[in-house]
Amino acid sequence: MSRKVLVTIADGIEEIEAVCIIDVLRRAGSDVTVASVGDSLQITASRGVILVADELIAGCKGQTYDLIALPGGMGGAENLRDCAVLTDMLKEQKESGRYYAAICASPAVVFASCGLINDRKATCYPSLMKDIENPVDENVVIDGNCITSQGPGTALEFSLKLVEVLYGNSKADEIADAMLVR
């Protein structure tokens, strides 16, 4: 069963995290839509890599996603946080019980500022742990329908955990084995 996933990108996002999330979820069979929160489909990531979205975030409004996932990178996280369409979608995602996930700066910058993790255990980039209410120093933290992770080095583990919550352990193991992770 294919799952519908939204991955948002913005100028300044961490490219390793964005591409890893998109790649691993597509390997699992997810219908992944990459949406730019800017005025253009094309964004420039934190290390100068150019990424091109499938559509602008406005085109995603009103759609239902099994998961909304946010890469990090401080500049990118700030741009994601400043997108009212995205933050409204994330609040609806939480309230509906559907999954929402973020890595690196995004849990602290986006989720905390929107009140999405105030009642949840979460993790983020280590220097930003002070900015979340219930920090846990682990690579990946799941609390209810919220999944968070620490940064570029945990992106693959995080992405495989997203596969696990959407499809189960056996699918996550299958993808990990095919990618020579284990």
Torsion-angle region of 67 (φ positive above 0: left; ψ -120 to 50: alpha; else: beta): beta
Active site residue 104: yes
Q: Which of 60, 104, 124, 146 is catalytic?
A: 104
Rounded to 5°, the CA angle 161-97-141 comes to 30
- Phi, psi angles (nearest 5°) of residue 114: -95, 0
- Give catalytic residue positions: 104
